[in-house]
Amino acid sequence: MLDPEFNNLKHRDLDWLNFNKRVLQEAEDEDNPLYERLKFLAIFSSNLDEYFRVRVSQLRQIKRIKKSLRKKLALKPSKKVKQILSIVSQQQQEFGEIFHDQIIPELAKNNIHLINDTDFSADQKQEINTFYKNNIEKSLQPQIVDFEKEKRIFIENNTIYFFVTFKENEKVGFVNIPLNDHGRFYTFNSKKDFYITFIDDIVRYKMSSVFPNEEVTGIYEIKMSRDAELYIDDQYDGVLAEKIYDSLAQRTDGQPTRLLYDAQMPKDFQKKLRRHLGLGKIDMMPGGRYHNFSDFFSFPNPSDNKSLKFEPLSPIPHRELENSQDYFASIKEKDLLVHFPYMSFSYVENFIEKAANDNDVTAIKISFYRVADESKLTTSLLKALEQGKEVTVFIEAKARFDEENNITWGRKFEKKGAKVIYSYPKIKVHSKIFFVERIENGEKLRYAYIGTGNFNSETSKIYCDHGLFTANKKITKELERVFKVLEGDLIIPRAKNLLISPFNTRRDFTKLILQEIDYAKAGLEAKITAKMNSLEDPEIINLLYKASESGVKIRLIVRGFTCLIAGLPQISENIYITSIVDRFLEHGRIYLFHNNGEEKMYFGSADWMTRNLDRRIEVLAPVMDEQIFKELKDILEIQLKDNQKARIQDASEANEYVKVKKGDEKINSQAKIYQYLKEKHSA
């Protein structure tokens, strides 16, 4: 949807919904295995929850600005929220149709039946009574509220409740649905067909015993989403990490951004509930009988039917690293590139482990954006400290939803003697880098890793990322300067090779785009090919528009939202964008400039978003090794040819799939890349 506040730009929050629509398309795609379709419904739901807690919340914060200033800045948050709610309502309807009309019948065909409290047989009721008594009853916290006497009610963030109406109209009941101990689903004992029910339906079935002194007339599920941002005053006088840690309670009592409620709830009770929760009309979102579909990530599969899920991919052994007895020698010999999830994250873990145990290694430095729970990598860093090595760990304390875990790990490293550095005000460290110093023949040598994804072995199984191991002196010397900036020893890291935000990334990307414009104006071939997660920065977009007008051929792959509109007459006719949403989450960023035949390529952690260029520390590396250049370019070209999971992104916002042209091969890029890497690394 075009944004009238800006010329020829889409509004990022509206186009993000267009991305989530592509996730919904995957849930609808019958070529995907049944449980994978359920997973896409869970992803859609999880995405939407975060969207309301962050993006919609931010729009609501704008409403606090004085109306005169909002008018001057052409900010219309209420109008945007109404547009958002309209789109979400339509998508929720599609979601319900996919779930009820497609998924439920397909489960039944596979002898898996999702039943509710009205379907329970006599034997199942007896089984439920026992389970309820032993496991659920003690976790319930029912309360009766008299709307005539009590002015406000507090509903915890992201917790599912039943709103219960009684025959005595002025009183209502609230009861939590306890999920922490037993998950969302209960599987009945059975010998042939499999029967599964929501924990919700067990509580619903027993509601008369929850409120034994009331006559229940209605049971409606509700769920509140609250503001997820932590508003930390930048004029802090203590450790920022401590302030963030102390502010985490805001996650549970922050400003409401959405109340999901069962649309069957009578209108008079909707009004009462809204008033007593202190909500506006736009905060109310009608839904179905159940909420929190992200719980379908853990939907039970009691059958042995392997066809219900994707066939697991065997990790491809890296040609040089798999049997390397000396990672340092292998990396010093040539740059090495790894690809996740097609390869194992263990190559990264093994290198840190070897560095921790190597007598010649003197220092290890690493930046964490999202720290995994206990892992081989964190264990190795603790081991390096025990070995007396200098360990420097940068912890991004403001990584949304991971603040608490990140700070907890920072404290663990500090206790063991690591130098731990936390966030800076107004800037995040989003780069995925580590650096190792080693003494070889009396000389200090540097080894480095630059990646597009977090140092997390679990997400590496579902995120498509690339990582470079290098001992190239030009790269490692500049990466050392990045860590000196993080440690406070440098203010600006001089860099001729690396792109380092917020220092030279915007400037150098601008030069590269302007150079292609100059080539096009001179009648020479000019091309820009880039892949990223999101495209939002207005300055970069306007440069791309100018490049298109000058005749530069621009081909983009943008997985998430894009504010650039491709295909506009006389503005972006030379720009073509596709988005790939598939089994794995496309997460790598690759930028390729034709450069009059002397191609330049960069890859790393930064999207073309204002925050990545100006408000985060990001690192993108030039691809200097010819073999690695070819490997990344081959992967990029496979993705450009995807005609199975690629959707066209233009002004229509129709999310139309790229069509297979007559005589062309059907190309699913993720499957094709897996096969390409398998053949390349078995050679």
Task: Classify each residue of 62-96 as buried b or exposed e, where b means 16 or more C-beta atoms within 10 Å of its C-beta.
Answer: eeeeeeeebeeeebbbeebbebbbebbeebbeebe
**Does 430 participate in catalysis according to the annotation?**
yes
Cis, peptide link before residue 300, omega less than 30° from 0: no
Is residue 275 annotated as involved in ligand binding? no
Residues across the chain: 683
Strands 463-470 and 600-604 come out as: unpaired
H/E/C letters for each residue in 288-314? Answer: CCCCCHHHHHHCCCCCCCHHHCCCCCC
Is residue 463 annotated as involved in ligand binding? yes
Between CA 217 and CA 292 the distance in angstroms is: 24
Between CA 106 and CA 111 the distance in angstroms is: 9
Between CA 351 and CA 329 the distance in angstroms is: 12
Going by the DSSP 8-state scheme, the letter that residue 281 receives in this structure is: G
Quickly count: other Cβ atoms within 10 Å of residue 232's Cβ: 18
Choosing from 11, 291, 318, 430, the catalytic residue is 430
Going by the DSSP 8-state scheme, the letter that residue 614 receives in this structure is: H
Is residue 276 annotated as involved in ligand binding? no
Record the tokens describing residue 414, joined without a space: 């500090």
Is residue 559 annotated as involved in ligand binding? yes
Is residue 53 annotated as involved in ligand binding? no
Burial of 388 (0-12, 13-18, 19+ CB in 10 A): exposed
Between CA 350 and CA 446 the distance in angstroms is: 17
Axis crossing angle, helix 669-682 with helix 626-640, rounded to the nearest 10: 150
Between CA 15 and CA 2 the distance in angstroms is: 9
Provide the sign of the torsion angle of the four alpha carbons 479, 483, 489, 493, taken in this order: positive
Is residue 236 annotated as involved in ligand binding? no
Tell me which residues are annotated as active site.
430
Which residues belong to the annotated binding site for Mg(2+)?
370, 400
Which residues belong to the annotated binding site for ATP?
47, 463, 559, 587
Which residues belong to the annotated binding site?
47, 370, 400, 463, 559, 587
